[in-house]
Amino acid sequence: MASRYSDLAGQGVFITGGGSGIGAALVAGFAAEDARVAFVDIAEAESRALVSDLDGKVDHLPHFIRADLRDIAALRSAITEAAAVLGGIRVLVNNAARDDRHDLDTVEPDYWDDNQTVNLRPHFFAAQAVAPFMRQAGGGAIVNFSSIAYLLNMGEFPGYAAAKAGIVGLTKSLAGRLGPEKIRVNAILPGMVLTERQKRLWIDEAAIAGGIERQCLKRSLTADDMVGPCLFLASEASAAITAQTLIVDGGML
């Protein structure tokens, strides 16, 4: 892939949930810009396969760290390790999530807490942990993955939807706090993106057809469709953009 954002070359980039789905496309996309990438995931086999697959194709081979984002100590230690390996961190992409379906009538407090511990809490603590490295670098960019799902009144995942709405509030608050230090914070709201997990668990042919029917663009979105918008928000091409949400849904909303 031709380099589109040359200022990203050599920059340290930390991505959560980079082992599969959109995260894997982001790892490959930043690496293709010659960025130095580290990513965390719990999916070890997929993460190691991704690194092997990129071997020989990119200048800086991405660095995988196994870490469960529910464990904040492990997340902090992964960010410290990444900064040492990459020579600093200038970009954070909070991508990981778990969109498990759950029913209003049966959710218990433990489930709710665990859901937020994956879908919202790490976003704050990753930002807190990368901020010192971004200050050292003279600035940085944080991209948080939210979702259009919280705008669609979907009843099957209230905890996930609440977290995705929370990410937008978090994005705006962090942008206010970190803007004076030249750290920009924005959110991407993907639409229906056909990752392997989505196809395996939730999206059948009828759902795909229904989604395309609602979109202006009459094709399915792929993980690669999220890469350009994320590179843009990470790069100096968007130097004056912060506290914003970018909807990437093929025109569904």
Nearest-angstrom CA–CA distance, 199 and 210: 14
Binding ligand NAD by CB under 6 A: which of 27, 91, 134, 193? Answer: 193
What minimum distance in Å lies between the beta carbon of 104 and ligand NAD?
Answer: 20
Region near ligand NAD per CB under 6 A, out of 36-44, 85-93, 169-177, 229-237: 36-44
Residue number, 19 or 137, with CB nearest to ligand NAD: 19
Residue number, 140 or 190, with CB nearest to ligand NAD: 190
Map the footprint of ligand NAD across residues 73-132, applying CB under 6 A: 95-99, 118
What minimum distance in Å lies between the beta carbon of 41 and ligand NAD?
Answer: 4
If binding is defined by CB under 6 A, does position 43 make contact with ligand NAD?
yes
Nearest-angstrom CA–CA distance, 72 and 117: 9
What value, to the nearest 5°, has the Cα angle with vertex 233 and ends 225 and 74?
90
Q: Reply yes or no on whether 5 is catalytic.
A: no
For residue 92, give the nearest of 32, 46, 137, 159 by alpha carbon: 137
Token pair for 235: 């790069």
Nearest-angstrom CA–CA distance, 4 and 236: 11
Nearest-angstrom CA–CA distance, 243 and 237: 15
Residue number, 135 or 248, with CB nearest to ligand NAD: 248
If binding is defined by CB under 6 A, does position 211 make contact with ligand NAD?
no
The residues annotated as belonging to the active site are: 160
